[in-house]
């Protein structure tokens, strides 16, 4: 089975390779555009991974200018073609807007997630996810259903052949949040325990006893990719917008924050017992 393709990851890869070829030849962007007879704005958009429709003749002109061998030329054309493909998430633009997290998740080799308010989306049950979106009345039932459907689609990457490693640090508050229907949280906690048995999933609880910690500024997702041409990035979101952080120093800052969160959180073995204790406590409270 062919591995899923992220058009955005392929655009980033093409951009970095063309920039590397240009810089190897000591050419400034304007000089390369002029000599290859490619519009400067076009070349700029390609190297910034913003061009969604790249002409084959522009790739050939740049390959000619840089003296790229046939195998490199073919690889550039393949990346250009793949950058035009659409993933399943393109049909959920009403959910993801212009920044589709699945576009990067599909090719990630590791996903490190810190959640301070809710269970991470990749680990949610459908019922819990629906409760999240309906909470506070921000979404209609129809809108909530669309978001839940999209979230369940995202989770397919965890069960595929060669899945990414998911490393989730979850604040204790997310586990203790009460829902109108206690059975939803009970099933969600049991689902966490089940998912924690998978070889590619590590779950840690950050307990209240950890006190103030490195993640006080909020939740985030850190995505790593297997290739050197695909640098790590960070995803954060608010109620109205989402943001991908790609600048290397900023990404490294998040790597450091996650490292501190990992150190402050309970080890995986203790996390399992911790979640079981909460689950048992909830069950005793329900039966009382």
54-79 confidence digits (pLDDT tens): 999 999 999 999 999 999 999 999 99
The dihedral through the CA atoms of 244, 249, 254, 258 has a sign that is: positive
Strands 110-115 and 165-171: parallel
Q: For the whole model, what pTM was predicted?
A: 0.88
**Helix ranges, 135-247 (H):** 141-154, 172-176, 182-195
Spatial distance between the Cα atoms of 147 and 186, rounded to a whole number of angstroms: 22
Task: Answer whether 109's CB lies under 8 Å from 224's CB.
Answer: yes
- Looking at every residue in the chain, the average pLDDT score rounds to 92
Residue 1 — very low, low, confident or very high, per pLDDT cuts 50/70/90?
very low
For residue 201, which of 231, 157, 244, 232 has the smallest C-alpha distance? 157
pLDDT at 239 over 80: no
Question: What per-residue confidence (pLDDT) applies to 286?
Answer: 72
Report d(CA 66, CA 166) in Å as an integer: 40
Inter-residue contact 102 to 154 (CB < 8 Å): yes
For residue 287, name the pLDDT band (cuts at 50, 70, 90): low
**So what's the pLDDT on residue 105?**
95
Q: Which residues pair with 41 in a beta bridge?
A: none
Portion of the chain with pLDDT greater than 70, in percent: 98
Contact 13, 79 (CB under 8 A): yes
* Lowest mean pLDDT across 39-53, 146-160, 186-200, 228-242: 228-242
Is the pLDDT confidence value at 3 over 70? no
Helix, strand and coil content of the chain, in percent to the nearest 5, comes to 55, 10, 30
């Amino acid at each position: 089975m062919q591995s899923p393709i992220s058009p955005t990851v392929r655009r980033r890869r093409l951009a970095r390779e063309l920039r590397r070829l240009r810089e190897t030849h000591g050419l400034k962007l304007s000089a390369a555009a002029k000599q290859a007879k490619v519009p400067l704005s076009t070349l700029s958009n390609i190297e910034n991974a913003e061009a969604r429709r790249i002409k084959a003749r522009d790739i050939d002109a740049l390959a000619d200018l840089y003296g790229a061998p046939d195998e490199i030329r073919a690889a550039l054309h393949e990346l250009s073609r793949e950058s035009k493909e659409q993933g399943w998430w393109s049909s959920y633009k009403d959910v993801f807007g212009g920044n589709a997290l699945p576009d990067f998740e599909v090719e990630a080799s590791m996903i490190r997630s810190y959640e301070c308010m809710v269970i991470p989306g990749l680990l949610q049950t459908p019922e819990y996810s629906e409760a999240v979106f309906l909470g506070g009345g921000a979404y209609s039932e129809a809108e909530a259903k669309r978001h839940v459907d999209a979230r369940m689609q995202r989770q397919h990457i965890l069960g595929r052949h060669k899945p990414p490693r998911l490393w989730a640090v979850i604040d204790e508050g997310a586990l203790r949040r009460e829902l109108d229907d206690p059975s939803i949280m009970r099933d969600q906690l049991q689902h966490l325990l089940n998912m924690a048995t998978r070889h590619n999933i590590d779950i840690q609880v950050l307990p209240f006893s950890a006190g103030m910690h490195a993640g006080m500024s909020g939740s985030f997702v850190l995505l790593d990719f297997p290739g050197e041409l695909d640098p790590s990035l960070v995803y954060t979101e608010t109620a109205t917008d989402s943001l991908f952080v790609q600048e290397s120093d900023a990404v490294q800052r998040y790597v450091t924050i996650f490292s501190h969160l990992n150190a402050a959180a309970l080890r995986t073995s203790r996390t399992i017992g911790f979640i079981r204790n909460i689950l048992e406590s909830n069950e005793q409270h329900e039966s009382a």
